[in-house]
């Protein structure tokens, strides 16, 4: 795999803008589910195609061993994992990397809404190998 596609990068920018709008309106302090619902509404208003709680198969040595659920899959390309936690920790990044690998996606966004400034809660994660 190479760098994420231009389309995936454009989707990421659009999603970040939508997240900033949600955070501006709601601020920190709500449950993740509230932010997911608000972001879904914002993406729909912007006519950005997405799927919520998208199930993807997890394979081990060619066999399905279960499923993972993506908070959002935007445009069929971009994995968006939402959090409302004190701070992002390495396991959150590992979770997104696992989702990228399982679904053969190249780009993910890890967004923590529980921050004063949302830019401090955004992590872009690319699978480039």
**Strand pairing report for 122-126 and 50-60:** unpaired
Q: Which two tokens stand for residue 87?
A: 């701070």
What is the residue range of 41's domain? 6-126
Mean per-residue pLDDT for 85-99? Answer: 96
- Has residue 1 been placed in a domain? no
What confidence category does residue 129 fall into, taking pLDDT thresholds of 50, 70 and 90?
low
User: Do the strands 78-83 and 107-112 form a parallel or antiparallel pair, or are they unpaired?
Assistant: parallel
Q: Which residue has the tokens 């589910």?
A: 33
Q: CA dist 21 to 27, 74, 94, 99, Å?
A: 10, 17, 27, 26
Q: pLDDT confidence of 127, banded at 50, 70, 90?
A: confident
pLDDT tens string 96-123: 999 999 998 999 999 999 999 999 999 9
- The total number of structural domains in the chain stands at 1
Q: Are 102 and 72 in contact (CB under 8 A)?
A: no
CATH number at residue 87: 3.40.960
Mean pLDDT value of segment 63-88: 96
Q: Retrieve residue 3's tokens.
A: 């760098």
Task: Report residue 61 as tokens.
Answer: 């040595």
Domain assignment present for 91:
yes
Q: What is the pLDDT of residues 5-42, one digit of tens each?
A: 899 999 999 999 999 999 999 999 999 999 999 999 99
Residue 4's pLDDT is 85
């Amino acid at each position: 795999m190479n760098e994420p596609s231009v389309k995936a990068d454009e989707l990421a920018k659009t999603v970040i803008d939508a997240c900033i709008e949600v955070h501006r309106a709601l601020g920190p302090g709500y449950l993740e589910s509230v932010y997911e619902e608000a972001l879904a509404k914002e993406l729909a208003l912007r006519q950005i195609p997405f799927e919520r709680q998208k199930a993807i198969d997890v394979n081990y040595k060619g066999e399905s061993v279960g499923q993972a659920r993506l908070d959002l899959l935007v445009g069929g390309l971009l994995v968006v994992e939402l959090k409302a936690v004190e701070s992002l920790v390495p396991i959150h990044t590992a979770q997104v990397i696992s989702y990228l690998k399982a679904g053969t996606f190249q780009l993910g966004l890890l967004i923590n809404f529980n921050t004063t400034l949302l830019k401090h809660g955004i992590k872009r994660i690319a699978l480039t190998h």
